[in-house]
Amino acid sequence: MSSSPERNPGTPLDLAWVTSARVNRSAVIRRTATLPGRRTVKKTWQAAWFLKAISCMDLTTLAGDDTPGRVQRLCAKARQPLRPDMVEKLGIGSLHLTVGAVCVYPNMVSEAVSALKGTHIPVASVATGFPAGLTPLKQRLAEVEQAVADGAQEIDIVVARHQVLTGNWQALYDEIRQFRAACGDAHMKTILATGDLATLKQVYQASLVAMMAGSDFIKTSTGKESVNATLEFGLVMARAIRAYLEQTGHIVGFKPAGGISKAKQALVWLALMKEELGDAWLQPQLFRFGASSLLTDLERQLYHYMTGRYAAKHHMPMG
């Protein structure tokens, strides 16, 4: 898909659909267990998939010790994710390869926007009391508005988990609708914090409500939970996206985040997207990895493809 799909406008909350949802946990586990061994690619095909993974990455820094210098270096890496000598040897200069976006805290948005000026790379910002989502609503809305005013083109909001855990779907829907309004033209990714939810059924239900409320993407995790992106969560959320598309005709993207640090993991996630949602979800307009260390491993794997040996990690610096 060469251009972004029409944004998901949302729908009225359909409580009957949400409360009647069911998930067969055993079937989910069986389905995801087959993916790593069954969907394998080798050699040139594998290298091409690694490049695809890079293009679908939200290169992220969400650390307590973030500095303007770190953000500037991250943005430089986003502009040129592979070393120039590797780009030349792989013969991919014409691709003008970049990552999908750079994701930072709200106070670093203006720094990232400045560092990425002149590129097509959007700046994404977490907001709404990330990672817990427990600050007052007025404050969470103001955080979204400030990030957008500073130039963020994508906002990663986080839901209040207690609304999911108690089944207060109306409150969850109403809050996300307000966040969507505060985002304006910025695309909204809704983080479900799946590792904090009690069941796969709740993951599915929260996915439906988030999409009904107008989310452009649904995202697994903040990366701060004890359990983050798993294939089980991913499958359930992908099936919710498919059901929502079939029911409403509206397209929603997907972003797994947290714990995805190896190139081979990325291949499995891409295979899941291809099988469950189709080739359109192999583009950054509809699929993103939330990651930081993943890029280093992808670069090392591509170096191995070129030379037959692995480079030391310090030869593939993040900036």
DSSP-derived secondary structure for the chain: --SPPPP-------HHHHHT----HHHHHHHHHHHHHHS---HHHHHHHHHHHHHTEEEE---TT--HHHHHHHHHHHH--S-HHHHHHHT-GGG----SEEEE-GGGHHHHHHHTTTSSPPEEEE-SSTTTT-S-HHHHHHHHHHHHHTT-SEEEEE--HHHHHTT-HHHHHHHHHHHHHHHTTSEEEEE--GGGSS-HHHHHHHHHHHHHTT-SEEE---S-SSS---HHHHHHHHHHHHHHHHHH----EEE-BSS--SHHHHHHHHHHHHHHT-GGGGSTTTB-EEESTHHHHHHHHHHHHHHSSPPPGGGS---
Q: Cα separation of 70 and 183, whole Å? A: 26
Q: Cα separation of 128 and 241, whole Å? A: 23
Answer whether 129's CB lies under 8 Å from 161's CB.
Answer: no
Which positions are catalytic? 156, 219, 255
Closest CA to 159 of 169, 148, 149: 169
